[in-house]
């Protein structure tokens, strides 16, 4: 049976580029898979906000992430790429991160070159560790793999604070240190992405998040400059949050949810997504067998 890491690597090779959909829980993972997604993503920012109710400032823990990873990978067999922030500590902590994420069912993770008290990649005043310290993070992650197919992706946030050339130099060092893939954060132009794919000889990911520093380049535009993966980390989560807020406001202001019914998923659609009736049929079969004894 293929490992999750192998599934992710094969998807990157097969789809040019691979679109990776961000999910926030098991149910959204099922929805994404039913829509035809080939790979999933768990965002650290989404987890912080949706699971913990805190901002994306390095507050969540490894176990917080593993809880959501286990739930998502139990619900979907698609490969899951996980945001591991800065690895939650030094070499031994990073090694534990890799092992626990693997055991939880992740296909791979990305580790970034910000300081431990990190910020969202599209916020100002990001502070980076030295290239050598990030190189050591990558080496620790690669060395700790329980499964050689588990993907260790290195994210660089250098473009915003140190410039494009520094970001390219860092990415090259991280690949030399063992990174399987590169996450180029907060890039502004297709030409800059082209520079990454021309100089970095491993797959490169473009993060097309909303309301950030990177324009809404299309899949085909990014593919034309050699990008291997296109990430949409929070698109569905943002839509869910806005929809939920509208329903809450409707109920409070109008005393009923009737005006919002058309915007809701029906009970029938929910049951179909979950395979609810198959579960019921299984129960009926088990109970009928018990009654006949």
Of the listed 68, 85, 100, 113, which one is catalytic?
85
Confirm or deny that 85 is annotated as ligand binding.
Answer: yes
Cα–chain-centroid distance for residue 206?
Answer: 12
Contact residues for 291 (Cβ-Cβ < 8 A; gap 6+) = none
- Say how far apart CA 140 and CA 17 lie, in whole Å: 29
Would you call 143 a catalytic residue per the annotation? no
Confirm or deny that 3 is annotated as ligand binding.
Answer: no
Comparing CA positions, the residue from 132, 91, 86, 90 lying closest to residue 113 is 86
- Say how far apart CA 30 and CA 230 lie, in whole Å: 20
Of the listed 120, 137, 145, 180, which one is catalytic?
120
How many Cβ atoms from other residues are within 10 Å of residue 282's Cβ?
11
Of the listed 25, 66, 83, 174, which one is catalytic?
83
Confirm or deny that 90 is annotated as ligand binding.
Answer: no
Would you call 185 a catalytic residue per the annotation? yes
Confirm or deny that 157 is annotated as ligand binding.
Answer: no
Token representation of residue 259: 């005006």
Would you call 110 a catalytic residue per the annotation? yes
Would you call 272 a catalytic residue per the annotation? no
- Say how far apart CA 142 and CA 202 lie, in whole Å: 15
Confirm or deny that 262 is annotated as ligand binding.
Answer: no
Of the listed 68, 100, 170, 207, which one is catalytic?
207
- Residue 35 burial (10 A CB sphere; 0-12, 13-18, 19+): exposed
- Residue 8 burial (10 A CB sphere; 0-12, 13-18, 19+): buried
- Residue 164 burial (10 A CB sphere; 0-12, 13-18, 19+): middle
Strand-pair category, 40-42 with 18-22: parallel
Would you call 63 a catalytic residue per the annotation? no
Of the listed 66, 68, 109, 110, which one is catalytic?
110
Of the listed 68, 157, 180, 185, which one is catalytic?
185
Peptide bond into 2 cis (omega under 30): no
Confirm or deny that 254 is annotated as ligand binding.
Answer: no
Confirm or deny that 103 is annotated as ligand binding.
Answer: no
Confirm or deny that 155 is annotated as ligand binding.
Answer: yes
Confirm or deny that 45 is annotated as ligand binding.
Answer: yes
Would you call 83 a catalytic residue per the annotation? yes
How many Cβ atoms from other residues are within 10 Å of residue 149's Cβ?
18
Of the listed 9, 41, 109, 170, which one is catalytic?
41
Confirm or deny that 123 is annotated as ligand binding.
Answer: no
Confirm or deny that 119 is annotated as ligand binding.
Answer: no
Of the listed 71, 155, 159, 170, which one is catalytic?
155
Would you call 85 a catalytic residue per the annotation? yes
Do residues 184 and 196 touch, judged by C-beta distance below 8 A? yes
Of the listed 112, 113, 157, 180, which one is catalytic?
112
Confirm or deny that 185 is annotated as ligand binding.
Answer: yes
Would you call 119 a catalytic residue per the annotation? no
Q: CA 211 → CA 15, 22, 126, 242, distances in Å?
A: 26, 16, 17, 14
Query: What residue numbers does the annotated binding site for substrate cover?
Result: 43-45, 120-121, 155, 185, 207-209, 238, 267
Q: Give the annotated binding-site residues for Mg(2+).
A: 83, 85
Could you list the residues known to form a binding site, using ranges: 43-45, 83, 85, 120-121, 155, 185, 207-209, 238, 267
Catalytic residue positions? 41, 56, 83, 85, 110, 112, 120, 155, 185, 207
């Amino acid at each position: 049976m293929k490992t999750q890491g192998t599934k992710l690597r094969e998807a990157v090779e097969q789809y040019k580029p691979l679109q990776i959909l961000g999910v926030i829980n098991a149910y959204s993972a099922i929805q994404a898979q039913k829509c035809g997604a080939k790979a999933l993503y768990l965002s650290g920012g989404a987890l912080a906000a949706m699971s913990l109710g805190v901002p994306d400032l390095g507050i969540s823990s490894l176990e917080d992430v593993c809880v959501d990873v286990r739930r998502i990978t139990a619900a979907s067999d698609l490969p899951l790429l996980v945001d591991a922030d800065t690895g939650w500590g030094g070499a031994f902590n990073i090694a534990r991160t890799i092992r626990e994420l693997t055991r939880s069912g992740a296909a791979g993770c990305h580790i970034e070159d910000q300081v431990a008290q990190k910020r969202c990649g599209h916020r100002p005043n990001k502070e980076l560790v030295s290239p050598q310290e990030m190189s050591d993070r990558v080496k620790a992650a690669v060395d700790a793999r329980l499964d050689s197919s588990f993907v260790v992706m290195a994210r660089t946030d250098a473009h915003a604070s140190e410039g494009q050339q520094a970001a390219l130099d860092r990415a090259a060092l991280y690949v030399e240190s063992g990174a399987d893939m590169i996450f180029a954060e907060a890039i502004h132009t297709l030409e800059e992405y082209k520079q990454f794919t021309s100089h970095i000889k491993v797959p490169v990911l473009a993060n097309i998040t909303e309301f950030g520093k990177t324009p809404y380049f299309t899949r085909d535009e990014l593919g034309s400059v050699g990008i291997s993966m296109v990430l949409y980390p929070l698109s569905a989560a943002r839509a869910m949050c806005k929809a939920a807020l509208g329903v809450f406001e409707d109920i409070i202001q109008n005393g009923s949810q009737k005006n919002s019914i058309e915007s809701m998923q029906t009970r029938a659609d929910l049951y179909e997504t979950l395979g609810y009736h198959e579960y019921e049929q299984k129960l009926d079969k088990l109970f009928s067998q018990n009654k006949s004894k």
